[in-house]
Structure 1
């Protein structure tokens, strides 16, 4: 339970920091399109940081749920792959990184499906 609460809180804080950095540090340095890409990374980062917090709370309610544990790791992987690739892409312009982003999106989807399955099973 604590692990996903900690990961969720850390990632929520990082999303706020990165959002502020994007709004104040990158404006004027990135094209409008790349700034939007960065903002999308921040938005999904925060959504899934909250998802990690929810998973931590649910694990407290249903300890030992391997489905919830899998969901937490999938969401964390999604943050790294999806948001991380968008952060790097927007700042470097390396378009080949775009191939990684869908894997992060798939990890997010898997995470949410596992949450649904865990709730149904409980």
Structure 2
């Protein structure tokens, strides 16, 4: 079983659930600004869950290098740090949580760069 395909599909389901939760349960509980922060978390969560699926497909069909797997783990770390910090920030209002968000963004960028390196090497 390809771990990245599993992680991607689970994260897709979670991002849809959290998106629906935000649209229905949080719409009247959060300020417009905090709802936008939450929705940004959902958007990046979903996009990078699709990225995990793509990485899983690449890893399963083309034996490239360990860089492909590293890409997947970096995307997962990015989801946890970037989207997770935005979810926590919007739900708690603790602004210091926003300091974690750029680390997740760096993990996303690093993941995509590592994938590009895998293609260049492969």
Q: Counterpart of 1:65?
A: 65
Larger mean CA deviation between 56-65 and 8-17 belongs to 56-65
Larger mean CA deviation between 57-66 and 69-78 belongs to 57-66
TM-score (norm 1): 0.97
Preserved contact between residue 64 and residue 118 of structure 2 (Cα < 8 Å): no
Matches within 5 A, 1:1-122: 2-63=2-63, 65-122=65-122
- Tell me how many residue pairs correspond in the alignment: 122
Cα distance, 1:121 vs structure 2? 1.3
Cα distance, 1:64 vs structure 2? 6.1
Q: Distance in 2 between matches of 1:16 and 1:34?
A: 18
Larger mean CA deviation between 24-33 and 54-63 belongs to 54-63
Moved over 3 A (4+): none
Two-structure CA RMSD over aligned residues (Å) = 1.0
2:47 alignment partner, SS class: helix
Cα distance, 1:65 vs structure 2? 1.8
Larger mean CA deviation between 56-65 and 37-46 belongs to 56-65
1:13 alignment partner, SS class: helix
2:51 alignment partner, SS class: helix
Deviations 1:57-114 (A, max 9, x none): 1101233621111100000000000000000000000000011000000000000001
